Structure 1
Amino acid sequence: MPFLPRRPEQLLPYAALVEWTGARRLWQGQAMLVEPFQGFASAAGAGFRVPTGLGVTLMPLRHPYEAAHQVRSLALATGEPVVAGFGPGGRSFQSSLMGAPYRSPLTAVREYLAIVRGLLDEAQVEVRGEYFTCHARMGPAIAPPIELGLGVLRPGMARLAGEIADVAITWLTPASYLENAVLPALREGAAACARAAPRLSAIVPVALDRPDRAPADMVIASNAAHMQAPHYIDMLKRAGIDITGLDPSAAARRIIDGGAFVHGNIDEVVSGLSEYRKAGVGEIILNLTGVCNAYGPKAALRDLKTILGALI
């Protein structure tokens, strides 16, 4: 979803693309208008029952029991697999809801996912952690497959995802950085627990070059907040894209040049996306937010159809 829906029916054209093309799954990040769980369930009620991905929902908004309940409810409502991605959010967001940020985001995430997984496995969960407590069990239900994901930007969270997640979900991460930093950390975490490494699902900002468009405007339109967030600035710097102290336009151009935002004609876009496959990404998530915010939802849908047609 390239925008935050204000009405559930706004999801339907995108759900239709998943149903009628070779696209695999409809994804949405955290939304503060129509909640993704409810939006996806509404689309299913309108007849578009498609696999869904949450990339990612923010932990401070809900207790892990409520998270497990929402995830399983979505799987039951759609009758399709769900990838449930979670993340701690930025420190300022944590403080605004909890009074203070997580002292250790990795510890908070480990506790959260352990509770959610235990509940979805219908086990009796007995966790009294530093951040989350749960002494409960969810009743039995036969639901479609649910995979648990973590939002991953840097090697520390990637190692944790390797230990406990089914899917690692990234945003604004160049293919080379995924190959050289994130995937090795995923494999390291998985090896420490003698398990297979989780699938890597990359949310890739993308836009087609058209005569009436300014590429830097689309980067800013989709990632202005990320370009100011310390954890994204640090990740980009690790990826060789140092935007420290740059004005937004210069930072946006550097992000394009560094491959974090895929842009060009259709052949260049297909080539740029293929770099993610070569790097070991198992699922590429096409993010047209920049096109939508700068030029409208019809332009985003047109680009999406063109890209899907070339890829599939």
Structure 2
Amino acid sequence: MDIAIAVGDVRGPASAAEITSQIRTAADAGFSSAWASQAFGWDPLVLLTAAGAIPGIGLGTAVLPVPQRHPLVLAGQALSVQAATGNRLTLGIGAGIATMVETAFGLPGDRPVHRMREYLTVLKPLLRGETVDHHGDTITAVGAAHVPGATPPPVLLAALGPAMLRLAGELAEGTVTWMTGPKTLAGHIVPSITNAAAAAGRPAPRVVAGLLICVTDDEAAVRARVAGQFALAGQVPEYRAMLDREGMTGPGDLVIAGDEDKVARRLDRLRDAGVTEFMAAPYGTAEEQDRTTTVLAGMTSRRPNP
């Protein structure tokens, strides 16, 4: 299992210089990739392009909600990042949280699997440089995206429910999860997408699992802070279903927190669940995040692959 690092907004407000420092530290420490997410702050594709001058580390989005990005637009953006960064991008996309899609953007959030299937059938050819002429139920797309020097990035699909996981196994190169624990990964996420990929004759999928993490001597205090700060996430139906599967009350129960030995044991559980890449999101003060990053960096060179 590779160990990657989340950068940007998920770790708290940060300037361009601070995020560049996060990525440079991750590259120097030997982390496999740096992942940026989309909320209402930094645009992750712009952020990763700016970080492209830092060598030796993969770059990924985890994730880009696609309802507000037409596939012709996203294909051009993703291929531009590829060309600018030496083809190091993994494009993680998702349907978005339904309530946010509908409330913040005024876009339809119904039938997410149906919409995503159509989106992927348009996006994947565009990323290969092909011309599309698609007039579908939810998307019209006519044209192509050509960026010299860019190769098609692998596409990972954020998937939690059974139908979206089947779609990810069929049409994507893997999945990215957030706030999903080892029990749910082992018993639901990994077998569902793996079986779907096998049924479609595709290679074994990548499974990138993202969780908050804090190496600390005061685990109870960290869990209490996370429970308060991320309380709303625990009420979102998509994440609530995963917490219920895990048998946990809220995000405070799910954060990886504790001393070095306890954190290492939690990472072992993720590896044993079938996770191929752990996306660590260091949590807390600058000092707590620095300690966590240092401990994780020490694991990157000695953690065995399954």
Give the TM-score normalised by structure 1: 0.86
Corresponding residue number in structure 1 for 2:266: 272
Question: AA paired with 2:129?
Answer: E
Distance change (3 Å), C-alpha of 1:98 and 1:211: closer
Question: What RMSD, in angstroms, separates the aligned Cα atoms of the two structures?
Answer: 2.2
Q: 1:307 to 1:181 in 2, by over 3 A?
A: same
The answer to whether structure 1 residue 240 and structure 2 residue 247 are counterparts is yes
Question: Which amino acid letter does the alignment assign opposite residue 39 of structure 2?
Answer: A
Contact 1:4 1:34 in 2 (8 A): no
Q: 1:79 to 1:49 in 2, by over 3 A?
A: farther
C-alpha distance in 2 between matches for 1:140 and 1:12: 25
**Offset at residue 302 of structure 1 (A):** 2.7
Per the alignment, residue 141 of structure 1 pairs with 148
Measure, in 1, the Cα distance between the counterparts of 2:152 and 2:64.
Answer: 18
Q: Residue 108 of structure 2 is aligned with which of 101, 110, 115?
A: 101
Could you tell me the percent identity over the aligned residues?
Answer: 27
- Cα distance per residue 1:73-128 (max 9 Å; x no partner): 11111114211111111122121355353321001111112222110111121222
- Tell me if 1:9 matches 2:17: yes
Paired amino acid for 1:287: A
> Please, which of 219, 224, 227 is the counterpart of residue 217 of structure 1?
224
Contact kept? 1:122, 1:138, Cα under 8 Å = yes
1:146-225 to structure 2, matched below 5 A, reads 146-211=153-218, 214-220=221-227, 223-225=230-232
> Given the alignment of the two structures, is residue 110 of structure 1 paired with residue 114 of structure 2, yes or no?
no
Asked which structure has the greater RCO (Cα within 8 Å, sep 6+), the reply is 2
* Equivalent residues of 1:158, 1:186 under 8 A apart: yes
Give, in whole Å, the separation in 2 of the partners of 1:221 and 1:22: 32
Aligned residue type for 1:299: E
Instruction: Report what 1:20 is aligned to.
Output: 28
* Count of aligned positions: 293
* Counterparts in 2 of 1:4 and 1:84: CA distance versus 1, 3 Å: farther
CA deviations on 1:203-258 (whole Å, 9 max, x unpaired) are 122111224970223423663331121111112112333x3xxxxxxx455x2xxx
Residue 52 and residue 147 in structure 1: after superposition, are their counterparts in 2 closer, same or farther (change >3 A)? same
Distance in 2, matches of 1:152 and 1:218, equals: 27
Instruction: Find the counterpart in structure 2 of residue 261 from structure 1.
Output: 255
Question: In the alignment, is the contact (CA less than 8 A) between 1:80 and 1:144 conserved in 2?
Answer: yes
Paired residue for 2:304? Answer: none
2 CA distance for matches of 1:200 and 1:252?
20
Alpha-carbon separation, structure 2, partners of 1:71 and 1:252: 31
Q: Specify the alignment match of 2:288 in structure 1.
A: 299
Alignment partners' CA distance in 2, 1:225 and 1:127: 38
What is the one-letter code of the residue matched to 2:49? Answer: A
Pick closer, same or farther for the CA change 1:99–1:209 going to 2, 3 Å: same
For the residue of structure 2 that corresponds to 1:56, the secondary structure is strand
Candidates 109, 112, 136, aligned match of 1:129: 136
* Aligned residues of 1:49 and 1:80 also touching (Cα < 8 A): no
- What is the identity, as a one-letter code, of the residue corresponding to 2:261? D
Is 1:227 aligned to 2:234, yes or no?
yes
2:209 is paired with a residue of what secondary structure? strand
Stretches of structure 1 lacking an aligned partner (at least 5 in a row) = 244-250
Q: 1:23 to 1:264 in 2, by over 3 A?
A: same
User: 1:24: Cα distance to partner?
Assistant: 0.7
Give me the TM-score of the superposition, normalised by structure 2: 0.88
In 1, the alpha carbon distance for the partners of 2:264 and 2:279 equals 13
Say which SS state the counterpart of residue 93 (structure 2) adopts: strand
Does residue 40 of structure 1 match 2:48?
Answer: yes
Instruction: Point out where structure 2 has 5 or more consecutive residues left out of the alignment.
Output: 1-6, 302-306
Give the superposition deviation at 1:194. Answer: 1.8
